[in-house]
Structure 1
Amino acid sequence: MGMERFGNAVLALALLLPGASPAFEDERKYALYAEGDIVLNPDGTVRDYTLTSTELPPSIAVPVDRSVRSWRFVPVLVDGQPVAAKSRWNLRLSLEPVDGNYRMRITKVTFGNPKRVHGLTPPKYPRDAAVAGIGAQVDLALKLDDKGKVIAAHSYQTSLTHRANDKVSGAWRRRFEQAATEAAMQWTFDLTETIGGKTVESITRVPVEFVAPTRNGEGMTRWQSYVPGPINPLPWPEATGAVVDIDQREPGDDAPRSMSSRFRLVDDVVGKVL
């Protein structure tokens, strides 16, 4: 997330705080996205955390800090013993108008999301699909070793921009899945979660989008619709995080998402009012 976008979101929230602006005149909602690092004590309590920006207005920073420091996690174990752990975390807050005031709540929190390494080779677009003007989005589940290198790939769901019978759709999906998997097996990610001071194997979800070219050779500039394909269950039992179906994913959500983070909250905080 760019600092400009983050700053704009903070400004939008700050302008809506009591005493900073008139009462709400409409029903618009505002969202703030932030990320940083969070460190756990062996007993699962929060030792410390950081966010992308430390310039949150006090009316936001104080309730966020009070909430986060009260969180409790399932202790992370190594050989049966609890250890300290550190993870990258992403936080999404919403600000909603309520009776001329506002209400801030947590709408999403995720942990351990790896980062793409710059220079990843993109997949090759299947030539016959490009000629036919067919696009796709392949949701890959990738197994990473403790260095962040992809050691296995699984196509969880592939959705096409065109509808066809099962046989034809299946053939197109396999073409895109092959292209995405071949590229992914050459990728490496920066791991963001350490257990007892060491990075560990991880499983992550990465959406790979194939944008069909138009007749003039340019990419699509309009909204693209997809026909969701069947879901292929994951072969790795340690993948505890759910994969979000394409029709349920937030717009623009193309970031890698951990599916095996060891950071697990005792109580769900999503929806909690701060």
Structure 2
Amino acid sequence: MIGAVLLLACAQAVHAAERREQTYQVGADVDATGHVIATQIEPDVPPSIAGVLTSALRQWQFVSARRNGQAVSAHTFISARLLALPNASGQYSLHVIYAGNGPKFHRAGWKARYPRDAVQRRQAAFVFIDATVQPDGRLADITVDSQFAEWPVARSFRDAALKAARSWHFTPEQVDGQPVATQVRVPMNFTLRDQILTPEQIRILREAASREAAVANAEADQLGIPLPSEQEIALDSPLQPHAVATIISAP
């Protein structure tokens, strides 16, 4: 649905004054100078959106990957946030915003099974999984911890997240044509419609939401958007962003 809205925004004026956004993960070949020279976009992305993404990514630059002290080509997967913002004339301008890069996470069936005891107690949890994406795409060194230091995570949530992570698969990044290991962090939220939260947990969530909103508002003025709450983060990608300013396409 969002893709259709963004596609419409590319083509013509729209009447609903609402922002629309979606994040796309795009394969990118980066040469030894750090420039994006080719992109691979999923076939189900509308051609007009694919064109906007390709044009934007080719304007971005990364710190060159290195092997044995020499700058070399590399391959990564860039998360690009496409934001459609309404203007006074009722049309949309499109903003392509860098949201990170790293290995490609194949998310089909990635969520953990909710622990039965937590369902009975109507408990919620917010965790993150740290792991190393190996060159074959499997994970190693998997650990689970709470997103909030003041909110201990029950063992059943840790076990559920760990079990899910053991089945995950990534497409690794490449340096000089060879797959490499990358450390990643994947946030995961366990929530129920009828969950019971303590006053302390409500305080923690409200303060976190306020901080995120403050950052979002500050970055919105500079056309930057924080990462989605459950988007993976590469902690040590061989390609680090150098010049990834937001690209704006006016109607």
- Identify whether the pair has TM-score above 0.5, normalized to the shorter chain: yes
Tell me if structure 1 keeps the 8 A contact 2:98–2:244. no
- Secondary structure (helix, strand or coil) at the match of 2:240 reads coil
Query: Greater CA radius of gyration, 1 or 2?
Result: 1
Which residue matches 1:207? Answer: 187
1:91 to 80, 88, 93: 80
TM-score when normalising by structure 1: 0.66
Question: Is the alpha carbon distance of 1:252 and 1:225 closer, same or farther for their aligned partners in structure 2, counting shifts above 3 Å?
Answer: farther
Q: How many residues align?
A: 229
1:267 to 224, 243, 247: 243
Q: 5 Å matches for 1:106-185? A: 106-116=96-106, 122=112, 125=115, 127=117, 129-158=118-147, 170=152, 173-176=153-156, 178-180=158-160, 182-183=162-163
Deviations 1:53-99 (A, max 9, x none): 46433xx6655444322222111001111111111222211111222
1:74 to 63, 67, 73: 63
Which residue matches 2:26? Answer: 36
- Secondary structure (helix, strand or coil) at the match of 2:248 reads coil
Deviations 1:2-39 (A, max 9, x none): xxxxxx33432343346x34xx5442112243333110
Give the RMSD, CA atoms, in angstroms: 3.8
The one-letter code sitting in structure 1 at the alignment partner of 2:182 is S
Which residue matches 2:221? Answer: none
Tell me if structure 2 keeps the 8 A contact 1:146–1:199. yes
Instruction: Point out where structure 1 has 5 or more consecutive residues left out of the alignment.
Output: 1-7, 161-165, 212-219, 231-244
1:56 to 47, 51, 56: 47
TM-score when normalising by structure 2: 0.71
Tell me if structure 2 keeps the 8 A contact 1:138–1:176. no
The one-letter code sitting in structure 2 at the alignment partner of 1:103 is S
Higher helix share: 2
- Secondary structure (helix, strand or coil) at the match of 2:186 reads strand
Once residues 228 and 202 of structure 1 are traced to their aligned partners in structure 2, the CA distance between those partners, rounded to angstroms, is 35
Higher strand share: 2
